[in-house]
Amino acid sequence: MSLSHDSTVRGFASDNYSGVHPEILQAIDRANGGHQSAYGDDYYTAELDQLAQRTFGSQAAIFPVFNGTGANVIALQSLLPRWGAVICAASAHINVDENGAPERIGGMKLLPVETPDGKLTPELLDREAWGWGDEHRAQPLAVSITQATELGTLYTPQEIEALSAHAHSKGMRVHLDGSRLGNAAAALGVSLRALTTDVGVDIVSLGGTKNGMLLGEGVLTLHTELAADMKYLRKMNMQLGSKMRFISAQLLELYGTDLWHRSASHSNAMAAQLAQAVRQSEGAELVYPVQANAVFAKLPNEVADRLREKFRFYDWDRVAGHVRWMCSFDTTEADVLAFSAALREELTSYHGK
């Protein structure tokens, strides 16, 4: 029996909807021969450790895990005692889209801060950075930022450096949710290290799935002392893969070559083309600056519903009429042109009533 989906169907719902990059599939195939030791004691995971040091500095280490939620929970746990709290943007993935996992599984308190663009600043940080020594308040001991943010905006290296320095001056450590770190680095024209090690970040959830991997992410520790406990946290949180070589091989292919940059640059470029189509469409407008591979637009809900019959995507704020369109490594110019034409058609029909 042979079952298959319709591979001609395309959408703009999420960069998680795309398939696996062919070069990643080849890397998995290469890793598949013979026997290798389980639980990370394999050739590919050892090579990944070397790659971490070459790319992010001599103290860096990458711990492969299954998914982004697991990476975030483990990374934040490593920064906190049981009474610790994490300051984050109210729109942060850890606050909105992880079903309470950081709090229920990680055992930490989140202290969300409203932001206009998904980005924390030292001034915004200070809204929750207080109460140390007060036994009635969870102690703010970590800051979590997202790059690119959930609103598609980007932190510059200078902004991260200022935020990290401010957090460190108050005794807090900095976590970066980097599920789309490659998109941010490609868009800003900087290295991955320039957005992490060089600007004071302590630990990173290193993305892979959204940029072409089959499954898996990495917890990237940037200080030796943070790496010491990571293997225990990973096992305790059910994120230790027995056949880890297949996750490590993917991370090696993605970050050990220019694949991350090529894929991210392409998805960013497709988003820029889609944003231009929105600007040229009467009745639709951009909600946030398009800086990576996400486009947030405002249009009538009726138009969004009809457009969704042809292309899958999500409402972001139904009341406000905001939608989100994501581009992937395999989004084509033809996809963008077809979507843009359908958008204009539905807008014309709506306003012609």
Question: What's the average model confidence in pLDDT over 137-141?
Answer: 98
Quote the pLDDT of residue 120. 98
First-to-final CA distance of the chain: 49
Quote the pLDDT of residue 3. 78
Quote the pLDDT of residue 351. 85
Q: What is the CA angle 254-10-270, rounded to 5?
A: 60
Question: Percentage of the chain with pLDDT > 90?
Answer: 96
State yes or no: pLDDT of 270 exceeds 90. yes
Quote the pLDDT of residue 1. 63
Residue type, 126: D
Rg of the chain taking only CA atoms, in angstroms: 21
Question: What's the average model confidence in pLDDT over 307-313?
Answer: 96
The domain locations on the chain are 22-257, 260-351
User: Residue for token digits 């994120």?
Assistant: 239
Q: How confident is the model at residue 209 (pLDDT cuts 50, 70, 90)?
A: very high
State yes or no: pLDDT of 86 exceeds 80. yes
Tell how strand 294-298 and strand 173-178 pair up: unpaired
Topology classification of domain 260-351: Aspartate Aminotransferase, domain 1 (3.90.1150)
From residue 182, alpha-carbon distances to 100, 109, 110, 140, 305 in Å are 26, 29, 26, 29, 31
Question: Percentage of the chain with pLDDT > 70?
Answer: 99
pTM for the complete prediction? 0.96
Question: What's the average model confidence in pLDDT over 321-328?
Answer: 98
Quote the pLDDT of residue 57. 98
For 280-300, how does the pLDDT look when each residue is reduced to its tens digit (9 = 90+)? 999 999 999 999 999 999 999
Question: What's the average model confidence in pLDDT over 206-218?
Answer: 97
Topology classification of domain 22-257: Aspartate Aminotransferase; domain 2 (3.40.640)
From residue 344, alpha-carbon distances to 162, 167, 274, 275, 351 in Å are 42, 46, 12, 13, 11
Contact 38, 242 (CB under 8 A): yes
State yes or no: pLDDT of 353 exceeds 70. no
Burial string for 77-96 (b: 16+ CB within 10 Å, else e) reads bbbbeeebbbbbbebbbbbe
Q: How far apart are CA 337 and CA 78, in angstroms?
A: 45
State yes or no: pLDDT of 105 exceeds 80. yes
State yes or no: pLDDT of 32 exceeds 70. yes
Question: What's the average model confidence in pLDDT over 184-195?
Answer: 98
State yes or no: pLDDT of 2 exceeds 80. no
| Average pLDDT of every residue of the chain | 97
* Tokens describing residue 55: 């790319």
Question: What's the average model confidence in pLDDT over 136-162?
Answer: 98
Q: Is the dihedral of CA 173, 177, 181, 185 positive or negative?
A: negative
